[in-house]
Amino acid sequence: MTTLIDSMVERAKADKKTIVLPEGHDDRILAAAEETLKQGIANLVILGNAEEINAKGYNLEGAEIINPATSDKVEEFASLLFELRKKKGMTEEEAHELVTKDNIYFATMMVKTGQCDGLVGGASCATVKILSPALKVLKTAPGAPMVSSLFLMEVPNCDLGENGIFAFADCALEIQPTAEKLAHIANLTNESFKRLLGKEARIALLSHSSHGSAKNDDAQKVVDAMAYIKENYPDLNADGELQLDAAIIPEVGASKAPGSAVAGKANTLIFPDLDAANIGYKLVQRLAKAEAYGPILQGIAAPVNDLSRGCTAEDVVGVIAITCVQAQTL
């Protein structure tokens, strides 16, 4: 059976992109790079000390290995970074130090200058280390009001959602999104779902309440988010507030939200806050043995994707393939 990542890999191969991996010191990254090159998924740039990387014995033939500390690109990148950030108080010395000593900044500058199509990192650093340079250098995509994240979840032996595939958002960035931000997250996730899967997103805004079954501030936030969607994103196929079972189980959806075009059929789940989202995706990953790909960042002007610090080399290969597909569709 073709898996989600199988389809991403095939799409990536059909129009190869160049992805930069800033964490060349991490064995999971190098193992993933070896597999990516073996399968012909992407062209790769790996950042780090070439002698140390090659000594580890991975077959990285075809990859470009760059040490930012000694690269001939430093002056170009430092000059551009200074120009981009001088109004925010960055000095030329600070710009030079960042591109020389911070691999994430160097990698981001490679994407900014078009030398790479996307960036995958975060295996050994916090999300903010990936996100901060991306927002400062690449900035948000035209028309995007914010940056958020999603996980693509593939649940084995499941016919719910999109034949077992779901988008969960926002599982990594927005801690307590407002109603307006929930609506923006829903719209960004809708766009990502269409780009990555080529399918219609059926979006459920999740709550502990379904269509007014509970009355409190938390439920009202989701109600307000749905009202914002109806006014500002009328083409979204969305409904809320919905409890999880009403969102994905047809019989429960028919009972709790009769007449809804989404209830019981949702493939895209928008969680009310980061606590619920993070707990939710990890429950599905660990108890349902689902594959979890992400956090995939959305709303940035170029593809930049974060990795969980608990990722495996196989996870990294999957995110590289997804990043390539994003680059193809931007």
pLDDT in tens, 99-143: 999 999 999 999 999 999 999 999 898 888 888 899 889 988 888
Which whole number is the average pLDDT over 217-235?
96
pLDDT, tens only, 155-180: 999 999 999 999 999 998 899 999 99
Which whole number is the average pLDDT over 140-153?
91
Which whole number is the average pLDDT over 78-101?
91
Give the pLDDT band of residue 238 (cuts 50, 70, 90): very high
- Which two structure tokens, joined as six digits, stand for 168? 């969960």
Phi-psi region of 2 (alpha: psi -120 to 50; beta: other; left: phi over 0): beta
Question: Do the strands 64-66 and 165-169 form a parallel or antiparallel pair, or are they unpaired?
Answer: unpaired
pLDDT of residue 1: 60
pLDDT of residue 285: 93
> CA-CA distance, 172 to 58, in Å (whole number)?
31
Which whole number is the average pLDDT over 200-221?
95
pLDDT of residue 269: 98
Tell me what percent of the residues of the chain surpass a pLDDT of 70.
99
Kindly state the DSSP code that residue 126 receives in the 8-state scheme. Answer: -
Write the DSSP string, 69-97. Answer: GG-TTHHHHHHHHHHHHGGGT--HHHHHH
Q: Strand runs (DSSP E) across 40-183, as ranges?
A: 43-47, 64-66, 118-121, 148-154, 165-169
